[in-house]
Amino acid sequence: MKEIAVLGSTGSIGVTTLDVVSRFEERFKVVALAAGRNVDLLAQQIKRFRPQLVSVSTEEAARELRSRLGSSKPEICVGIEGAIAVATYPTAKLVVCAMVGVLGLRPTYAAVEAGKDIAFANKEVLVVAGELIIDAVRRRGTRLLPVDSEHNAIFQCLHGQRREHINRIILTASGGPFRTLPREQFSSITVADTLKHPTWRMGKKVTVDSATLMNKGLEVIEARWLFDVEPQRISVVVHPQSVVHSMVELVDGSVIAQMAIPDMTIPIAYALSYPERLPLAHLKPLSLVECGALTFEEPDPERFPCLRLAYQALEAGGVMPACLNAANEELVENFLKGRINFVAIPHYLETVMARQPNRKASCLEDLLEADERARELVNELIAA
């Protein structure tokens, strides 16, 4: 029986994780959950899985949760310290890190330092603090098991391969909802248009990132740290069918691909059960005959400049990836609230990167300080 803690239990990854757990209760036990303010869903999860510890983001949410659960409630913690308590829960062997954005940085780092294995769905953590996190993983002897479909695919493709045989990592991108939209129409893109992803069901922030291709840029940075591969050996191809989830090219020209239906249950289940595989009989199997043609194309850097900016931030190193991520988070939030339009996201992002001084980061505080300054600069630009 593997005991697990889930950071971000009420988000899409967290919900799917708990669905997998419910199907294999003889294998997994939930001991701790961290959520934001979705008390309705969290209360249901507590009644279903009976964790010993839960955390919510605010005191108000904690009070409401206590009143709903009555006397049969677990220990309830609040805020970032509560999330850290969940991430370091003593009996948890695996921590599913699915908190969105840089909010998950401190809990994830604490989980690694506590010697936990990590099922990793928060790409922003490695974008912001990849070097520090990987150093801690090596020092503590823990494992990072990627949950993102692309990185999980690479993880599978690399299994059994010798490092010197790896030539290139190839990340696939769906291209999002605007892959074929004429560029001159980008200024009229609405929030509703952006949230209509053609193949994946995801949270709002990730869906917007997919539409700008920033999601793929963040994944490039994440892959650099997860797989210890130089940026120039990480490529991106647009694959609209989302059947090939990513590929690895070997030095002899062979290309190994991982293929499956576009359903996050598969990579989540593999991360939970690794190195074993779970029988997911409830999912429809992949039919290549039904898929028909599988197509691939180069991403257009003129239409989707966020991908280029992510490569630039990775090459710059230091605190620049943290600045990129923070600015993007703020810009996406402002876009979702209707304060800026779609094309303003890469425009402001490039401005912030140009104005933000870069420096080496020696600790989390350096990165969080750069994160805060980048957010301030975004809001100054929007206000002006």
Task: Give the tens place of pLDDT for each residue, 343-365.
Answer: 999 999 999 999 988 999 888 89
Higher pLDDT, 4 or 207: 4
Residue 100, pLDDT > 90, answer no
User: How many whole angstroms separate alpha carbon 135 and alpha carbon 114?
Assistant: 14
Compute CA distances 182 → 174, 179, 189, 196, whole Å: 17, 9, 11, 17
DSSP string, 96-132: EE---GGGGHHHHHHHHHTT-EEEE--HHHHHHHHHH
Task: Look over the chain and give the mean of its residue pLDDT values, rounded to a whole number.
Answer: 94
pLDDT at 200: 66
User: How many whole angstroms separate alpha carbon 222 and alpha carbon 231?
Assistant: 10
Instruction: Give mean pLDDT, residues 377-383.
Output: 94
How confident is residue 298, by pLDDT bands cut at 50, 70 and 90? very high
The percent of residues in the chain predicted with pLDDT above 70, rounded, is 99
The percent of residues in the chain predicted with pLDDT above 90, rounded, is 84
Instruction: Give mean pLDDT, residues 301-311.
Output: 93
List the structure tokens of 57: 């983001």
pLDDT digits (tens, 9 = 90+) for 50-61: 999 999 999 999
CATH topology of domain 2-146: Rossmann fold (3.40.50)
3-state secondary structure of 321: helix
Among 356, 365, 273, CA closest to 320: 356
Residue 268, pLDDT > 70, answer yes
Among 10, 5, 63, CA closest to 35: 10
Give kind and range of the element (H or E) at residue 30: strand 28-34
Q: Which ranges in the chain belong to alpha helices (H)?
A: 12-23, 39-49, 59-69, 79-87, 105-113, 123-140, 149-157, 191-194, 204-212, 214-226, 265-273, 288-291, 305-316, 320-336, 344-355, 364-383
**What is residue 196's DSSP assignment?**
-
pLDDT digits (tens, 9 = 90+) for 158-180: 998 999 999 999 999 998 889 98
CATH class as words, domain 317-384: mainly alpha
Q: Where are the domains of the chain?
A: 2-146, 317-384
Burial of residue 136 (number of CB atoms within 10 Å: 0-12, 13-18, 19+): middle
